């Protein structure tokens, strides 16, 4: 069975409703309700398969006029050849010594085919990844038709990685297909990498994350049980432990399995894992991402600030839009390693949750809700109708995380709508205090 056929069955069985409930109530403590969520950052973009959120109407007299955006690239292949080569080599070695079960032999054939298909494609956008961004762009025009009209300036920038550039290209192509009269500028340059991918240059934050890694590693190890997987694939568990390294085998197959959802034609491999194995592996990966990007005392609450340059850029771009006579949208394209800490720095949906106890995470902080393939943050700006000159106090904003209305750590004016002056002050104060709170 391919991923697509299994995916359709899953949706029909009701996982769609379960995901929507989990995503909309981050405080609920909802456990994994869908095996695809176990993939963490490998979760394929959950719209529209899991439902499209209904958006709240703007307060009376207000219309949208501007968008600030950051989006992750769409679904992709795994990042390097080793991710496909190693699992095949492990199983080939076991097969040589007669240590594979019939399902293990079948798995070897499946992984060999996937490996062969991956050659020359590692890290690249899949056809699904292309479609995700076209769909996101189309829904953006449907949700905010007042912005995407003739003469609107759409400025798009991407990191220099090809999957991000192609994600940008797909969104722009769809926008221009819908409204050819848009004024579009695009760029992908190393000159903007410090804005779009600043986490790679923040050595202090990286050092703090590395120092916390042993804690999340120990937590993951405590929860890990691979016995069912091993028994399905191998007829001699001791051979796996002694000659292959059980977790390396498990992890290699797991990564390929959870990434099948980013492809239209790869075989389903979820029968290899029990729900408990999927859940426990996710627990460890969730903890790992929390130490990598979370607002935790374990890393002195410093790490999300690796996106301070990007957030400052968003504020400055919005300030420019306030005085521009032209409607505009600023679209940025990058990676999950940016979306996650940016979401946390902005305090979206209580993502700035702080704990030193990884057991608290499942009920309060779940990575797959933030940064699936194609994940995006949209900040929508509203102004009073027929008013050209604006002050920040007159402008309202709402934030969408993966196209769903999100909360901020402020008191809203109405539903999901906040005063831009309040939001701007919150972020400006936060950024201005960085140098006094943290040493470089």
Half-sphere exposure of 13 (CA within 13 A, CB side): 10
Q: Verify cis geometry, omega within 30 degrees of 0, for the bond prior to 48.
A: yes
For residues 192 and 221, the answer to whether their CB atoms sit within 8 Å is: no
**Is the pLDDT score of 1 beyond 50?**
no
pLDDT tens per residue across span 137-188: 999 999 999 999 999 999 999 999 999 999 999 999 999 999 999 999 999 9
pLDDT tens per residue across span 259-277: 999 999 999 999 999 999 9
Q: Looking at the structure, tell me whether residues 10 and 55 fall in a common domain.
A: yes
Would you place residue 439 in the very low, low, confident or very high pLDDT band (cuts 50, 70, 90)? low
| Spatial distance between the Cα atoms of 170 and 89, rounded to a whole number of angstroms | 36
Q: Looking at the structure, tell me whether residues 248 and 386 fall in a common domain.
A: no
pLDDT tens per residue across span 212-248: 999 999 999 999 999 999 999 999 999 999 999 999 9
**DSSP letter assigned to residue 412:** -
**Is the pLDDT score of 4 beyond 70?**
no
Which tokens belong to 156?
A: 């798009």
Q: Looking at the structure, tell me whether residues 260 and 355 fall in a common domain.
A: no
Would you place residue 6 in the very low, low, confident or very high pLDDT band (cuts 50, 70, 90)? very low
Provide the domain limits for residue 43.
3-76+125-204+296-437
Q: Looking at the structure, tell me whether residues 261 and 407 fall in a common domain.
A: no
Q: Looking at the structure, tell me whether residues 401 and 355 fall in a common domain.
A: yes
Q: Looking at the structure, tell me whether residues 104 and 60 fall in a common domain.
A: no
Q: Does the residue 291 lie in any domain? A: no
**DSSP letter assigned to residue 303:** G
Q: Does the residue 139 lie in any domain? A: yes
Per-residue 3-state assignment (H helix, E strand, C coil) for 224-269: CCCHHHHHHHECCHHHHHHHHCHHHHHHHHHHHHHHHHHCCCCECC
Please state the pTM of the whole predicted model.
0.92
| Spatial distance between the Cα atoms of 314 and 103, rounded to a whole number of angstroms | 51
Q: Looking at the structure, tell me whether residues 36 and 133 fall in a common domain.
A: yes
Q: Does the residue 29 lie in any domain? A: yes
Q: Looking at the structure, tell me whether residues 340 and 381 fall in a common domain.
A: yes
Per-residue 3-state assignment (H helix, E strand, C coil) for 165-183: HHHHHHHHHHHHHHCCCCE
Q: Looking at the structure, tell me whether residues 342 and 417 fall in a common domain.
A: yes
| Spatial distance between the Cα atoms of 184 and 191, rounded to a whole number of angstroms | 19
| Spatial distance between the Cα atoms of 71 and 378, rounded to a whole number of angstroms | 8
Q: Looking at the structure, tell me whether residues 353 and 426 fall in a common domain.
A: yes
Counting the structural domains of the chain, the total is 2
């Amino acid at each position: 069975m391919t991923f697509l056929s299994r995916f359709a069955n899953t949706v029909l069985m009701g996982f769609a409703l379960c995901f929507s409930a989990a995503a909309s109530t981050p405080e609920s403590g909802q456990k994994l309700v869908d095996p695809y969520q176990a993939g963490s950052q490998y979760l394929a973009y959950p719209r529209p398969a899991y439902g499209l959120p209904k958006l709240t109407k703007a307060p009376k007299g207000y219309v949208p006029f501007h968008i600030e955006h950051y989006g992750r690239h769409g679904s992709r292949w795994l990042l390097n050849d080793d991710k496909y080569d190693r699992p095949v080599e492990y199983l080939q070695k076991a097969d040589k010594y007669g240590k594979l079960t019939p399902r293990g032999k079948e798995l070897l054939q499946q992984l060999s085919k996937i490996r062969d298909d991956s050659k020359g494609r590692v890290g690249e956008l899949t056809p699904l990844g292309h479609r995700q961004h076209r769909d996101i762009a189309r829904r953006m025009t449907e949700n905010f038709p007042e912005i995407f009209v003739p003469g609107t300036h759409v400025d798009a920038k991407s990191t220099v990685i090809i999957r991000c550039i192609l994600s940008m290209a797909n969104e722009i192509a769809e926008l221009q297909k819908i409204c050819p009269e848009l004024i579009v500028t695009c760029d992908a340059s190393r000159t903007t990498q410090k804005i779009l991918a600043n986490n790679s240059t923040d050595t202090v934050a990286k050092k703090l994350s590395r120092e916390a890694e042993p804690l999340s590693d120990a937590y993951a190890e405590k929860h890990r049980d691979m016995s069912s997987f091993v028994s399905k694939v191998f007829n001699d568990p001791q051979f796996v432990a002694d000659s292959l390294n059980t977790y390396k085998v498990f992890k290699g197959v797991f990564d390929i399995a959870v990434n099948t959802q980013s492809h239209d034609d790869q075989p389903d491999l979820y029968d290899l894992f029990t729900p408990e194995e999927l859940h426990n592996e996710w627990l460890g990966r969730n903890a790992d991402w929390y130490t990598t990007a979370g607002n935790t005392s374990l890393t002195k609450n410093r790490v999300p600030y690796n996106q301070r340059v990007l957030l400052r850029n968003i504020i400055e771009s919005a300030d420019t839009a306030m005085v521009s006579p032209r409607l505009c949208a600023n679209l940025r394209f990058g990676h999950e390693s940016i979306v996650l800490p940016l979401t946390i720095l902005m305090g979206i949906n209580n993502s700035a949750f702080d704990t030193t106890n990884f057991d608290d995470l499942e009920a309060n902080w779940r990575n797959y809700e933030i940064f699936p393939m194609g994940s995006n943050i949209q900040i929508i700006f509203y102004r009073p109708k027929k008013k050209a000159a604006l002050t920040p106090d007159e402008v309202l904003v709402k934030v969408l995380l993966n196209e769903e209305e999100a909360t901020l750590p402020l008191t809203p004016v109405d539903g999901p709508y906040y005063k831009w002056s309040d939001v701007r002050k919150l972020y400006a104060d936060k950024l201005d205090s960085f140098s006094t709170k943290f040493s470089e």
